[in-house]
Structures are given as structure tokens and as C-alpha cells.
Structure 1
Amino acid sequence: MSRVGVVIVAGGSGSRVGGAELKQLRWVAGKPMLLHSLQAFQSIPEVAMVVCVLPKQYAGDPPPWIFQSDPERMLISVGGKTRAESVSNGLEDLPAECTTVLIHDAARPLVSVPMIRRVMDEAKKGHGAIAALPVVDTLKRVDADGRIVETVSREMLWRAQTPQGFPRDVIVQAHAEAKRAGWHAEATDDAALCERLGIAVHVVRGSERALKVTEAADFARAELMAGWNEGDDA
């Protein structure tokens, strides 16, 4: 059986949410955001280890609720100055037995097991895989004054989500090459690192429930989404 390792990125400051408490440690839908994701990934037998990447001040003294999980399949890693650096730190701490890697943002607390499995199964085929949703809204490009310049075709456009999965050697190579080339810090997700190198990444169906909590109003949206049955992603 292919052993799967998971890196949950929870190292950001969450400044757009406001307040003194870190966004990824705040409660939503009955538990802290990070704990939602941690327990979802650990419910999958193939997952051998989950690395939670936390800010330095929390890594040495994590919140006690984080141990409402399987501590034997959990490690704490120290976050970096950028998201990409935090992922790199998490990858380094994964046990060598983990040959497939899933990378997930703690800011998406409502990720479901079926969605995780779709990404995991696709990545096991030997290429990258990300959860995503097709764009359904009409897209407008505007100038600095907010004036519409053009309507952008939404055909073949997808909204990227996490988790994103890769063969371990592929994503480690992608991060290493990005560091050498000097554009490591620019990447907003891990698929972008692979794209720059011409490494194949496929999309699998994501979920509207897996919204990203970015601003204060998103907490209310997440509470509503938590009770929404979306087929097999419930």
C-alpha cells in the first residue's frame, strides 16, 4: 500500500480576519479550524502521518485541543516567512515512507473525506492532482479605476482548492527548483510550482463546502456550509 503523508499549512497570520487569535486556531462549526482538517485526514487509513505547520510561537507549545487526534500520526513543524517555505518545512519533516503527499490549507476546514480521496487517488497515478471547481460566473477584467476593459472567457477555467496531491519526489523537486530559480516565494499554491516546470497536474472535482476562510464574514459562511449536504461530500 502506498503510504500517504499530509502537510497542513497553518503558519499564516490571518491578518485579514482581524483579532488577536490566529485564524486557523479559531473555532468554526463546533471545533477549531485546524482540528477539522487534522481529523478528516487522519480518518483515512492510508494516511501514515500528518504534519501540522504552525507559527514558531505555537509550534513549541501547541494548543491542547490539537491532541484530540491520533498523536502517533501527527507531527508539528515550524512555519516559514511564506506559504511555500512553510510547505517546504513540512515536507522535510514527513517520514521517508510517505511516497505520496497531500498539501492542505487549514483555512479550508470543511474538506471532506470523499474529496480528499479523489485527490489522493489521482496523485497515486504518478502526477499532480488538485481539487478544483469550474468557474460559472461571468468574468470581467477591469482597469485601476474599476472600469470594465473586457469580458474574459470562463471556458476551461477552474477555481483551485486544496488538498493538492503529488508523488513526493515530484513536489520536493518542484520546491527545490523554485528556490534555485528565485521564484519560490511567489507561488500561491503548490500546483503553480509544478506548472512552471512543465510537470503535469490534473484537476479533480472539489466542493463548495471546502471554502477558504479569508475574511471575518467567511466564518458565518462556513457555519452555514457545515450543515449543507452536498451529495457524497456531506
Structure 2
Amino acid sequence: MADPIFSVVIVTAAPTGMAAEAGGAFVKIDGREVLLRSVELFLNRDNVKQIQVVFEQDFLEEGRKKYGGHFGFSGVKVIGGGPRWIDQLAVAAGKISDEATHVLVHDAARPAVSYLDIESIMDAANKHPVATLATPLRSPLIEVDEGGAALAYHSPQKFMHIVTPQVFAKDKFRELLKDKQDFHASQFTLCKGSPLNVRCGGGGDVTLVKAMLHMLPKPKIKAPLSPFDEAQW
């Protein structure tokens, strides 16, 4: 089986149920927007054919002016979609490169992803039509009613955090988006990821996300064998 070739879709809308945290992608950490850090996770990869960043349609022109210089240099495309996560996936689905065999979806507000997790989820694309990173819960949960009153305890072993990146076979991605409905959980194969992969929901999360970024494992860079080897490059 040939190795997957990815079209990467970076979504700036908040995931379903998190509409109040839609601005996290535009928060700055050490002077650089979370969005830019998230895009950089997928640059300079031989198996990535295309990167699309999806803004809300009302923000598209402003987004192009603000980030066009950064993205244009790297070949990243900017497109406009609706305010919902599923709307932005749908508009990107119509612009996937013919050369891509798979789609990788990533939340623009998640810059702290280990390179090991990215490699793991990309490898999963060869084995499963739909797969997502997921991280374990560390504490018991308590269910509440609409007024916030406690109803029941739940064991953390029964739940996981669904995070991104997520990968899809291209045809499966388009099939799932036909009705613009959120994907059912049973569609996903879960790949355990690092708990460092936290979401920036706004300015209040900067310190946490910054700490996670500093804790990420660094890819190993092969050192030159000798000064002569280094000089050849």
C-alpha cells in the first residue's frame, strides 16, 4: 500500500459545543499567534501536499491581509467558510488537491502537538478510514443537570478527550460531510496521544499552553559526523 498523501485542513472555528472558545487561534504566545504555530506543525513534510486554513467568511479579507504574507511564503491557502466546525470542513472538502489520498484535520487552537503524535496519526491513516488522537482523563467526572446540580459520578476509564489532528481517507471524508452533520463517535478509531495537547480557548490559557509547548519532545536532528561532513552542506 502506498504511503498516504495529505491535504491538511486547519479549522479556526471552535469544535462542536465549544462556541465560546472560538478565538483561541488568534491569541499570541511569546509574540506569535497560536494559528501560526499550529500551521507550522505541518510544514516541510514530504507527505503533505496541501495546507488550507479556513476562516469565517466575515473574517476572510482581514485574515488574508494579516496572515497572507506568512502563508503565501509557505504555499498555505486561505479560504472562507461558515461559523461552525462542520461548515469549515465542508468548504475545504471541495478544494482538496487531486493528488491527496487523505485529509488531515487540525484545530487551529491546538499548537502543542508532539511530532510523535503527528507521525502516529499519519501512520494510522494507512490502517483506518477515520482516526483521531485522543488523550486520557486523569480524574473522575461528575454529571450535572442544566442548572449545574450534581447528578452522578462517572469513571475516567470510560471517557477520553477527543483532540486533533484527525485523519480521513479522502472519499470517506467527503461521504461523511454530505449532510453537514457532526461525525458520529463510532466512526473514529482512537489513537492515544500526549496530554500536552491542550486547546487554547482564549487569553486565560496562554500560560498553560506556553508551558505545554516547552515540554514537547524535540525531534532528533542527525549531527554531522565530522567538520568535513558539515562543510559539504
TM-score normalized by the length of structure 1:
0.80
Structure 2 counterpart of 1:190: none
Q: In the TM superposition, what whole-angstrom CA distance separates every residue of 1:181-203 from its partner, at most 9, and x where no partner exists?
A: xxx2xx3xxxxx154xx64x211
1:140 aligns with 2:142: yes
Contact 2:105 2:165 (C-alpha < 8 Å) held by counterparts: yes
1:203 aligns with 2:205: no
RMSD of the alignment, in Å?
2.7
The amino acid across from 2:87 in the alignment is E
Seen in structure 2, the aligned counterparts of structure 1 residues 152 and 119 have a Cα distance that, compared at 3 Å, is: same
Spell out the pairing of 1:69-148 with structure 2 (5 A cutoff): 71=73, 73-148=75-150
Structure 1 counterpart of 2:54: 53
Q: Which moved more, 1:164-173 or 1:64-73?
A: 64-73
TM-score normalized by the length of structure 2:
0.80
Cα deviation for residue 65 of structure 1 reads 4.5
Spell out the pairing of 1:1-234 with structure 2 (5 A cutoff): 1-11=3-13, 16=20, 22-61=23-62, 62-68=64-70, 71=73, 73-176=75-178, 178-179=179-180, 184=181, 187=182, 193-195=183-185, 199=187, 201-229=188-216
Q: In the TM superposition, what whole-angstrom CA distance separates every residue of 1:61-90 from its partner, at most 9, and x where no partner exists?
A: 514545435746421110213110111111
Seen in structure 2, the aligned counterparts of structure 1 residues 208 and 30 have a Cα distance that, compared at 3 Å, is: farther
User: What's the secondary structure of 1:54's corresponding residue?
Assistant: strand
Q: Distance in 2 between matches of 1:55 and 1:145?
A: 32
Q: In the TM superposition, what whole-angstrom CA distance separates every residue of 1:27-50 from its partner, at most 9, and x where no partner exists?
A: 114421111111111132210100
Seen in structure 2, the aligned counterparts of structure 1 residues 108 and 63 have a Cα distance that, compared at 3 Å, is: farther
Q: Distance in 2 between matches of 1:71 and 1:91?
A: 23
The amino acid across from 1:86 in the alignment is Q
Cα deviation for residue 208 of structure 1 reads 2.3
The amino acid across from 1:127 in the alignment is P
Kindly name which structure, 1 or 2, has the bigger radius of gyration based on alpha carbons. 2
Cα deviation for residue 23 of structure 1 reads 3.7
- Unmatched 5+ residue regions in structure 1? 188-192
Contact 2:6 2:48 (C-alpha < 8 Å) held by counterparts: yes
Q: Which moved more, 1:162-171 or 1:55-64?
A: 55-64
User: What's the secondary structure of 2:157's corresponding residue?
Assistant: coil
- Unmatched 5+ residue regions in structure 2? 220-233
Aligned residues: 214
